[in-house]
Homo-oligomer: A and B are copies of this chain.
Amino acid sequence: MARRRQAVTIRHVAADAGVSLQTVSRVINKEPNVRPEMMARVQDSIARLGYVPSIAAQRMAGSRSYLIVALNDRERTIAGWRDRQGTDWVDQMLLGGMLTCAEHGYRMIVELVDTHSDHIERELLAAIAAIQPDGVILTPPHSENPLITRLLEEHRIAFARIGSRNAGPGFAVAMDEAGAARIATEHLIALGHRRIGFIAGPDEYELSGWRTDGWRTTMVDAGLPTDGLLAAGDFGFASGRAAAAALLGSAVPPTAIIACSDQMTLATLELARERGLDVPGDLSILCFDDTPIVRFVHPPLTAIVQPIAEVTARAVEQVIGDQSGDVAEPIIVPATLAVRASTGAPRSPA
């Protein structure tokens, strides 16, 4: 390795433009109180010399590091990568996060830490000490981890909690779960369905409740029944099968089912197929997560598209723009619906 030194530093620029270091610094940081004429001269030198400030030096001198850390759960993230099921949560996070960071001259560093671990505080502190990020983006399940949020708060590092709506330290940025459930339900109602089943997620996740509420409210608003149309799962395949079996086994089974995870939806599809139900003729199926697997199955599933990229982008904006102090309202980003072949009008009007 070469002993590397900055090729062109602020000193070169200052010399070239015939001004002091300080003036160059002011121009770089877009500070006021610089004559346009000076500014132009300095910027010209910067461009000509191809000068770019060293973030290490900037950080050292007490300014920003222009680094944002995206904190992901180690176990979960690695498992997702190893399984290769095509889940692109991280990719969408990068899409929204990196590009937004870049727009503001920042960079994003992905950091994996164990949520369960008792030394999570040490891990986080080490990352903060080493990187000295200007902000941190928390992803589930870190977003709700008080050990983490407290630490960040104490260290006065701006952070956002993705998937969280609770007020509290840091910015909460989440998808509109209830709204998504409403969109899904309304889509089915518009197709003519009246008995719409809902396979909810586990209670541990707050979002499960929001989604269920969204479905229920929409049904009630439309004057439709909800009794016997709600079943709970744990996001896993087996639980989805059981829930679907319960719904389809009732006296007057639903003509459509919304399931809150791709696995539960696939389970529902499998069960429907086994029972000789045509999809969507006999049963419309709607998935609450637009993973690739959901698109390549037959028929391709109508699905709620989670705006991960958008949510992350908003989170980054908040963190970068942090005019700290004001307790911001949670930011809620709307979801959209990808209509595919698994939903259609019920064959026999219910």
Contact residues of A with B, CB < 8 Å?
A: 1-8, 50-57, 59-60, 62, 64-66, 78, 80-82, 84-86, 88, 90-92, 94-95, 98-99, 102, 107-112, 122, 125-126, 129-132, 134, 155-158, 290-293, 295-298, 309, 322, 324
Contact = CB atoms under 8 A, between A and B. Distances in A.
A91 B81 CA distance: 6
Nearest to A81: B95
A125 B52 contact: yes
Contacts of A5: 62
Nearest to A84: B88
Nearest to A320: B1
Given A5-B62, A53-B130, A107 B109 contact: yes
Contact of A4 (B50, B78, B156): B156
A97 B65 CA distance: 23
A54 B7 contact: no
A331 to B, nearest CB: 19
Contacts of A78: 95, 99
A6 B128 CA distance: 9
12 contacts: A1-B64, A50-B125, A53-B130, A54-B60, A56-B60, A56-B65, A81-B95, A107-B111, A108-B110, A110-B110, A292-B296, A293-B296
Contacts of A111: 107
A117 to B, nearest CB: 15
Contacts of A82: 95
B85 A94 contact: no
Given A50-B125, A56-B55, A62-B5, A94 B90 contact: yes
Given A78-B99, A109-B109, A55 B292 contact: no
As for how many copies of this chain the complex holds, the number is 2
B130 A54 contact: yes
Nearest to A322: B1
A56 B132 contact: yes
B92 A81 contact: yes
Most interface-central of A64, A108, A110 (chain B CB within 10 A): A110
A293 B102 CA distance: 31
A129 B98 contact: no
A2 B156 CA distance: 6
Contacts of A297: 296
Contacts of A129: 6-8, 51-54
A98 B74 CA distance: 11
B94 A110 contact: yes
Most interface-central of A5, A292, A322 (chain B CB within 10 A): A292
A210 B1 CA distance: 33
A221 B19 CA distance: 73
Most interface-central of A60, A78, A297 (chain B CB within 10 A): A60
B85 A134 contact: no
